[in-house]
A and B are shown apart, each in its own frame.
Chain A
Amino acid sequence: MNAGNMPQKIIKMKKYFLITVLLLIAFAVNAQSKDEQELIKRTYLLSHTVFGTKDSLMLEDLFAKTATYGHSHGNLQTRAEAINGIIHNQSTYADTAVSDITVIFADDDVAIVRHLFKANEIRKDGKTVPLNFSMMLVWVKEKKKWKLFGRQAVSLQ
């Protein structure tokens, strides 16, 4: 090895180092944006299930074991109470709209999702009530799946 080759070797090493770092960053960013997409998907699915299909198996899949579910009037439910309430909810919902979704990661396996929710609730007695909510959702990653850990609704009316 002569002295003339040294700088070139160092440059080459630096280049590989830079490429490795960039790749690692790209992987990390990609992983987070994948999680973000997954969270948005799960958020839509949750809304669609709670206010649409009321499918109990889907709810079982969406809710974490120790989930707490807060309604806009301040009443708080456990996982079992919430699922039971949703599947026996006799209202139907029209013109449902989820908008303004934001995702903030608190940790790799915890995220806070906020979104707006509008709909017309058609009650059992036929009365229609407009709904205008802001939702805060806490999602946790359990066995590679995002599960709802906490939910708090607030009415904007």
Chain B
Amino acid sequence: MKFFFTIAWFFTGLVAVAQVDSISLKDAMSNLDKALLNKDQRTLQRVMHKEVSYGHSNGWVQTKQDILNDLQTGKLVYNKIENSNVMIVALNKKWATVRTNTNAEGSISGTAFQLKLHVLQVWIKTKMGWQLMARQSTKI
């Protein structure tokens, strides 16, 4: 009996930990989207890994410096980033992959875009909190 209680208690603990992690991860995802919309360089510095690769639906891949520069110069402007069907696939507490469907609107070099995307993201947990390591989107 005691044995079963121990097991039950162990699983409760695991579920609790998993939930807390997914909440902090969802926070980081929302912070990233808000920072992209608001061109918030400080938050972007924090939520993106220095070696991040950010792949777009036309195959263009941005580095961290590209993302920061292109927002600052206005080459890339986001007006809307809306995620649905968020699915977190995690193996452990140190990293996770996330899949979302995303509606993105904005402009690239002055040309407006309105895209329905499927996105794969890889997040890793560092001393700074969750950081985006890689992202690839494709048009639905």
Interface positions of A (Cβ within 8 A of B): 66, 68, 70-76, 102, 104, 106-107, 110, 112, 114, 134, 136, 138, 140, 149-156
Contact = CB atoms under 8 A, between A and B. Distances in A.
Given A70-B138, A112-B133, A152-B138, A140 B91 contact: yes
A150 B138 contact: no
B3 to A, nearest CB: 27
A114 B61 contact: yes
B136 A136 contact: yes
Contact of A136 (B95, B116, B117, B134): B134
A138 B138 contact: no
A23 B101 CA distance: 47
Interface of B: 49, 51, 53, 55, 57-59, 61, 87, 89, 91, 94-95, 97, 99, 101, 116-120, 122, 124, 133-134, 136-140
Contacts of A151: 120
Contacts of A66: 89, 91
B95 A106 contact: yes
B122 A106 contact: yes
Contact of B138 (A68, A73, A107): A73
The prevalent SS among residues of B at the interface is strand
Nearest to A71: B138
B138 A74 contact: yes
Contacts of B94: 107
B55 A114 contact: yes
A107 B97 contact: no
A74 B58 CA distance: 13
Contacts of B118: 70, 74-76, 152
Contacts of A114: 53, 55, 61
A50 to B, nearest CB: 17
Contacts of B120: 68, 70, 136, 138, 150-152
A126 B134 CA distance: 37
